[in-house]
Copies of this chain bind each other. A is one copy, B any other.
Amino acid sequence: MKQELVGRRPTIYDVASAAGVSKSLVSLVLRGAPGVSPARRAAVEDAIQRLNYRPSRAAATLAANRSRTVGVVLDDYRNLWFVELLAGLHRELAPRGFRVAVADPSFNMETDRSVVDGLMSLPVDAIVIATETPEETLGAIDVPAVVAGNRDIDIPGADIVANDDLAGARLATEHLIEQGHREIGHVTGSGGAARLRAQGFEEVMHEQGLRARIERQQLTMEPDGYNAALRLLDRNPSLTAIFAANDTMALGVAGAAKDRGRRIPEDLSLIGYDNSPLASSNLLRLTTINDRSKTVGVEAAKALLWRMENPSAPSHTKLIQPELVVRASTQHHG
């Protein structure tokens, strides 16, 4: 008689014998396969409960040569846009049995050679690139991939799903112009999305025969918005509105406005980008552009699922249309 090892983790064999079925049947039930009789399925599920059985992902991955996991490469956990992106990805992928695993470039770099290497050795069946990190630093990607939220990164064979930054920046600028503003400044950074937003601002201003005053920083964080806005306001006292490349920079602009004694929106209209939780705060009540990150996530997941079936089809770019969200930080001028 075989010794029963106390505390040993139960396996598919234990479940099979407890349920009085074969281990092949247990495997079928675990994968939710059709053609299993309800009675046997119930017996297996009951045994799983009783034994507190948890399938070994390592064994399943090794045997099946796929993990049903999608890896997401993030930039920085501080950029909250990824929260909605993950929610969208998850909504599409979970019902199809896929897990979502997150990695950010600064992480696990001592144990893995690069973010992507880390995900690949996990392993993941597909990858979502949600970072502005240069392509070179990512490492080789040999699974289906989609670039989400950034149109500037070039991964051969990868699809692209992103909010249309150019269109969003145009919406923001047009909103200010419709409110009668003519002296409008823009504070921005130097990433790919920031560049497109600055371009949209410039286009509309020039179309209207207006001067586009742009103050560009390296990054797009709060201090960058603050510093850029101070320079903009000090050099152009006649400015009546500022468009910030994102909501975080807009927070910095609001700080600069306060320090210069300019009330928002009475003395200065302010518009951001992203529709982050910050924008809806009662202190800011920030007019902004909704970048629709959740939709980007949903569409990125769809693109990935499609590409897993069609690995060698030509890659596509899908742009999600952003939306203007009007709050109290912008008002009519003149």
Interface residues of A (CB under 8 A from B): 52, 54-59, 61-62, 67-68, 77-78, 80, 82-83, 86, 90, 94-95, 97-102, 107-112, 117-118, 120-123, 140, 222-223, 226, 251-252, 254-256, 258-259, 277, 280-284
Contacts of A121 in B (CB 8 A): 54-57
In the complex, the answer to whether A77 meets B86 with C-beta atoms within 8 Å is yes
In the complex, the answer to whether A281 meets B120 with C-beta atoms within 8 Å is no
Contacts of A57 in B (CB 8 A): 58, 121-123
In the complex, the answer to whether A226 meets B282 with C-beta atoms within 8 Å is yes
In the complex, the answer to whether A83 meets B77 with C-beta atoms within 8 Å is yes
Q: How far is the CA of A140 from the CA of B280 in the complex (A)?
A: 39
In the complex, the answer to whether B107 meets A90 with C-beta atoms within 8 Å is yes
Question: With A57-B122, A282-B259 given, is the CB distance from A277 to B95 under 8 Å?
Answer: no
Question: With A108-B99, A123-B57 given, is the CB distance from A255 to B277 under 8 Å?
Answer: no
Q: How far is the CA of A123 from the CA of B59 in the complex (A)?
A: 10
Contacts of A122 in B (CB 8 A): 57
Q: How far is the CA of A61 from the CA of B255 in the complex (A)?
A: 51
10 interchain pairs (CB within 8 A)? A55-B121, A57-B58, A58-B61, A78-B80, A78-B83, A78-B277, A251-B283, A252-B283, A258-B282, A283-B283
Question: With A111-B98, A255-B283, A282-B222 given, is the CB distance from A62 to B56 under 8 Å?
Answer: yes
In the complex, the answer to whether B282 meets A54 with C-beta atoms within 8 Å is no
Give me 15 other A-B pairs in contact (C-beta within 8 A), A54-B120, A78-B277 excluded.
Answer: A55-B121, A57-B122, A58-B62, A58-B67, A59-B62, A62-B62, A94-B111, A95-B110, A97-B111, A99-B111, A100-B107, A100-B108, A222-B280, A252-B283, A255-B284
Q: How far is the CA of A101 from the CA of B284 in the complex (A)?
A: 35
